[in-house]
Chains A and B, each alone.
Chain A
């Protein structure tokens, strides 16, 4: 929930024991990380600067501009030190459209996020980590030294000590007072420490978490890739249909033809037990081949109905209705030809509805209403069955909803117990001249 995350990072921290511990851990590791980045960065920048003379340094420098990417990934994870319950900040980067290192580089160099991450890296190495260290030192180390005064005194023995080089402590009463002072100081200073850590995390999030536009981009990308998947799936269906039709079906038809001719020939053989057996065997083989053809025909139709491509949705819906075991009435204004994916999704919606009616509803009749009005195709399939259909359970309906989502379409199923069940599909689309 985005609203809670934004308020919780800016809200004044509640006094709670884990919050200071987390803040200290966050800032301390931040300081350590920043120092490391500074050291490694200095070495690498110097090295590549020197190597530019022999040209090797140029790609190294280019790679350094991208060094913010892994660091930012680490920083986004480190945010969870502060709030482990919160979902980690997502990456602002997009997935390259084509595979390969070159495409990855091109995309990263074009993205604004890459440069924000680089800026953060520089900032961390030069400003942020000393600041983190300073805050931890002031808020935690100073009180710690004061609190440790009695122990320190015991170790140092006579002569007294000077905790944090502030004042001389030469007796246990003074040491205890110092420790108490340290404790108070700690309690007082922990509040700004936690506040600083929260502000620091908010700043990190601001630079490294995806912006609105980047989120919208990635959403659009998901939609696009889903559309690509659906298209690829559709193309594959057609290919399979074509293969079955051009291969297996033709061979089977040829086989039944040969068997039919063979039966004619066998009928010409003079009567006898052998002739009868032969005739029986041929008849059985013929019937088997016919059965196989029927099954294959239904299979091919289920994969991709040719009538949809040839005559459009109206004819395809009629065809599906013809095939239903429950009588179906169709009520529609003649539909125009619609974009192929829309016709296809509409047809499969009707098929899915009719299949469910046949299988589960116990309906006596069904009614399909279809219309293309106000820039949208709307199909309702209603039955008078027992109702109680659960759209969440059927995989067919889920697949259908996914398919429709790609087209910005909507699937609604209302099915109160006792019926009637109504499945509605709405897909925005324009008529197409074909």
Chain B
């Protein structure tokens, strides 16, 4: 992964400890942190000043310690729909993920549990995927959603749900095929079925995948 082109990252995290740690991790993987800030206003300024490749932000930040970071991310995406944003959350909450995915066309966004940064390789991989326009939803959100009975998804077979969960995590057909130990064609067939059952008519391929994930989140 360090072989990929280095990213210019703006980082917003109020805890100095974590901020330094994240900068360390990014540096280790060859990415450049152009600005590391501690609150939502500074994040907005830094994005204007540096026009980064990707933004990483905490949800909860000063002054209110509510969802300032998420709000700032949503606002930034409203002005720059193509700006990749990865949001780190203290705990997984569908409401936060759904709000974030509603911005732009739902591509180039990620919503991860803060704990995931400990799995440094996975974290940096997710960041790279988001920077490339992918969508990453924390597996925990997906797992919770699978637990609930929701009508649009009730018609999916267990295997199709499994595939949809992996799609929501931002994986490509090849990666899903690898994970499930099936052929890529089989994955394609499953995805076709999912899109059919969720009533998403054929259109631009990547887009429909995001819509499927959104259907999943909003159901």
Q: Which residues of A contact B (CB under 8 A)?
A: 242, 245-246, 249-251, 253-261, 264, 286, 289-290, 293-294, 297, 300-301, 306-307, 309-311, 315, 318-319, 321-325, 327-329, 365
Pick the residue among B18, B66, B118 that contacts A260 (CB under 8 A).
Answer: B118
The one of A245, A250, A300 that contacts B17, using a Cβ cutoff of 8 Å: A250
Contact of A257 among B118, B144, B145 (CB under 8 A): B118
Q: Chain A: which residue is nearest B117 at the CB level?
A: A257
**Told that A260-B121, A322-B144 touch, could you supply 16 new A-B pairs with CB distance under 8 A?**
A245-B60, A253-B115, A256-B118, A257-B24, A260-B118, A261-B25, A290-B118, A297-B113, A297-B115, A307-B93, A311-B95, A318-B95, A319-B94, A322-B145, A327-B148, A329-B149
CB distance from A44 to the nearest CB of B (A): 61
Residue pair A259, B115 in contact (C-beta under 8 Å): no
Residues of B within 8 A of A300 (CB): 90-91
16 A-B pairs (CB sep. < 8 Å):
A245-B60, A253-B117, A257-B18, A257-B22, A257-B24, A257-B25, A257-B120, A264-B121, A297-B115, A310-B66, A310-B95, A318-B94, A318-B95, A319-B93, A322-B145, A365-B149
Q: Which residue of B93, B94, B113 has the most chain A CB atoms within 10 A of its CB atom?
A: B93
Are A301 and B91 closer than 8 Å at their CB atoms? yes
Name the distance in Å between B71's Cβ and chain A's nearest Cβ: 9
Q: Which residues of A contact B50 (CB under 8 A)?
A: none
Q: Please report the C-alpha to C-alpha distance between residue A315 and residue B218 in the assembled complex, in whole angstroms.
A: 11
Interface residues of B (CB under 8 A from A): 15, 17-18, 21-22, 24-25, 28, 60, 65-67, 90-91, 93-96, 113-115, 117-121, 144-145, 147-149
Given contacts A250-B15, A290-B118, contact A309 B94 (CB under 8 A): no
Question: In the assembly, what is the distance between CA of A264 and CA of B94, in Å?
Answer: 32
For residue B203, give the distance in angstroms from its CB to the closest CB of chain A. Answer: 29
Chain B residues near A328 (CB-CB < 8 A): 148-149
Residues of A within 8 A of B24 (CB): 257, 261
Q: Which residue of B lies closest to A250 (CB)?
A: B15
Main secondary structure of the interface of A (DSSP, over half): helix
A306 & B90 in contact (Cβ 8 Å cutoff): yes
B2 → chain A closest CB, angstroms:
10
Which of A242, A261, A310 neighbours the largest number of chain B CB atoms within 10 Å of its CB? A310
Residues on A with beta carbons closer than 8 Å to the beta carbon of B117: 253, 256-257, 260
Partner of B25, one of A260, A286, A315, A319: A260
B90 touching A251, Cβ below 8 Å: no
Cβ contact within 8 Å between B17 and A254:
yes
Q: CA of A347 to CA of B24 in the docked complex: distance in angstroms?
A: 40
Q: Which residue of B lies closest to A310 (CB)?
A: B67
Tell whether, in the assembled complex, residue B115 and residue A256 are in contact, meaning their CB atoms are under 8 Å apart. yes
Question: Cα distance A224–B151 when bound, in Å?
Answer: 45
Chain B residues with Cβ below 8 Å from A259 are: 118
Question: Please, how many angstroms separate the alpha-carbon atoms of A309 and B60 in the complex?
Answer: 12
| Also in contact, A306 and B120, with CB within 8 A (given A261-B28, A297-B90, A319-B93) | no
Residues on B with beta carbons closer than 8 Å to the beta carbon of A321: 148
Report B39 CB to chain A, min CB distance, Å.
Answer: 14
Q: Which of B66, B90, B114, B144 contacts A309 (CB 8 A)?
A: B66
A311 and B148 alpha carbons, distance in the complex (Å): 20
Q: Are B149 and A246 in contact (CB under 8 A)?
A: no
On whether the beta carbons of A249 and B118 are closer than 8 Å, the reply is: no
> Are the CB atoms of B147 and A322 closer together than 8 Å?
yes
Chain B residue contacts of A255, Cβ below 8 A:
118
Contact A322 B148 (CB under 8 A): yes
Most buried by A among B24, B60, B115: B115
Shortest beta-carbon distance, B94 to chain A, in Å? 6
Chain B, residue nearest A246 (CB)? B15
Cα A259 to Cα B18 in complex, Å, equals 13
Residues in A with CB closer than 8 Å to B144 are 322-323
B115/A290 in contact, CB under 8 A: yes
- Roughly how many angstroms separate A98 CA and B22 CA in the complex, as a whole number? 50
Name the B residues within 8 Å of A324 (CB-CB). 147-148
A292: nearest residue on chain B (CB-CB)? B115
B65 touches which of A242, A261, A318 (Cβ 8 Å): A242
Chain A residue nearest to B154 in the complex (CB): A327
Distance to closest chain B CB from A146 (angstroms): 89
Using CB atoms, name the residue of chain B closest to A324: B147
Query: With the chains together, A110 CA to B76 CA distance in Å?
Result: 60
Nearest B-chain residue to A321, judged by Cβ:
B148
CB within 8 Å for A293 and B93 given contacts A264-B28, A322-B144, A328-B149 = no
